[in-house]
């Protein structure tokens, strides 16, 4: 329960509890947004795959989808971590299954998507949240190691392409589906000494726009969500002060900010949205403040 409190807002926890207890969601009727989502679980029994589901953002995405009634396959490299996410979701009444997945292994991707699709007869939602920056290895372009470049591109871009390909195979026959890729604001802006990471995330945005055109005739939407700085642990007072100087919405993003955006794009409320990149960064990418 402690992990869920850390990463998931009270609204989502309450909705998961209501699924467990068979009760109407405990939601204040005075808040318009809460009333809107209280109408029901808009993703009831839809099948979702979330790669990178054991990370802070992936965990929040999985929980937010489960809170809307989806059957979520939490994918990741660490069995302990993905089992932890699944245990939290199931304990609160959601539906989730652990699935070990290496997004750099094509055979593993093909097998995972085929097994999930065969088990349920369909795949409704695919969120590619797996990613990495090899942050400890970053240096100038001139000093960067080839193996680090390969690692970043394999996870962030090649992995996204392969997962989207397998998702499309499952979704095209049913002529419906949601593909949501997690990119980064650096994929739009770039950043010195993060060139290959920015290139991989910019590639994800361009790729997503392209497949939105290709898959649109089959009723499949494809969109990106690009986070700015998101809290992944404790944050110091000095870091918070620095963020308040650069973000128009003072402070930092939280994993649930991304999870809620993804849940919206997966829902019927986003039926007519495709090929878009949604930046969730507190206005940081607008520039000017602190420049």
Q: Please say if 197 is a catalytic residue.
A: yes
CA atoms within 13 A on the CB side of 223: 22
> What is the phi/psi pair of residue 245, to 5°?
-85, -15
State whether the Cα torsion 200-206-212-214 is positive or negative: negative
**Residue of 209, 151, 144, 212 lying closest to 183 (CA atoms):** 209
CA 163, distance to chain mean position in Å, is 13
**Residue 151 φ/ψ, nearest 5 degrees:** -60, -45
Distance CA 130, CA 208 (A): 15
Among 33, 73, 97, 197, the one annotated catalytic: 197
Q: Are 94 and 16 in contact (CB under 8 A)?
A: yes
Task: Measure the CA–CA gap between 193 and 210, rounded to whole angstroms.
Answer: 28
Q: Which residues in 25-58 are b (16+ Cβ under 10 Å) and which e? A: bebeeeeeebeebbeebbbeebbbbbbbbbbbbb
Q: Which of 16, 221, 44, 224 is nearest to 129 (CA)?
A: 224
Q: Please choose, from the candidates 204, 208, 202, the residue with its C-alpha nearest in 3D space to the C-alpha of residue 189.
A: 202
Q: Which residues are catalytic?
A: 197
């Amino acid at each position: 329960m402690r992990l869920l409190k850390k990463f998931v807002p009270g609204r989502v926890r309450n909705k998961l509890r209501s699924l467990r207890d068979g009760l109407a969601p405990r939601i204040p009727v005075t808040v318009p947004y809460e009333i809107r989502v209280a109408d029901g679980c808009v993703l009831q029994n839809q099948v979702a795959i979330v790669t990178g589901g054991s990370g802070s953002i992936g965990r929040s995405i999985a929980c937010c989808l489960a809170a809307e009634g989806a059957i979520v396959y939490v994918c990741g490299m660490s069995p302990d971590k993905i089992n932890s996410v699944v245990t939290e979701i199931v304990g609160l009444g959601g539906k989730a299954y652990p699935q070990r997945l290496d997004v750099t292994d094509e055979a593993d991707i093909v097998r995972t998507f085929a097994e999930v699709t065969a088990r349920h007869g369909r795949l409704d939602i695919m969120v590619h949240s797996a990613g990495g920056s090899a942050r400890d290895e970053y240096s100038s372009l001139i000093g960067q190691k080839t193996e680090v470049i390969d690692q970043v591109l394999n996870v962030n871009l090649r992995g996204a392409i392969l997962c989207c390909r397998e998702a499309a195979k499952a979704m095209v026959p049913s002529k419906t589906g949601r593909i949501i890729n997690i990119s980064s604001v650096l994929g739009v802006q770039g950043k010195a000494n993060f060139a290959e990471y920015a290139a991989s995330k910019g590639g994800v945005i361009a790729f997503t726009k392209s497949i939105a055109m290709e898959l649109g005739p089959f009723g499949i939407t494809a969109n990106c969500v690009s986070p700015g700085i998101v809290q992944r642990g404790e944050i110091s007072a000095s870091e918070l002060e620095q963020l308040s100087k650069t973000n128009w919405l003072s402070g930092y993003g939280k994993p649930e900010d991304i999870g809620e955006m993804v849940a919206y794009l997966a829902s019927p409320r986003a039926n007519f949205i495709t090929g878009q990149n949604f930046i969730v960064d507190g206005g940081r990418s607008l520039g000017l403040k602190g420049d």
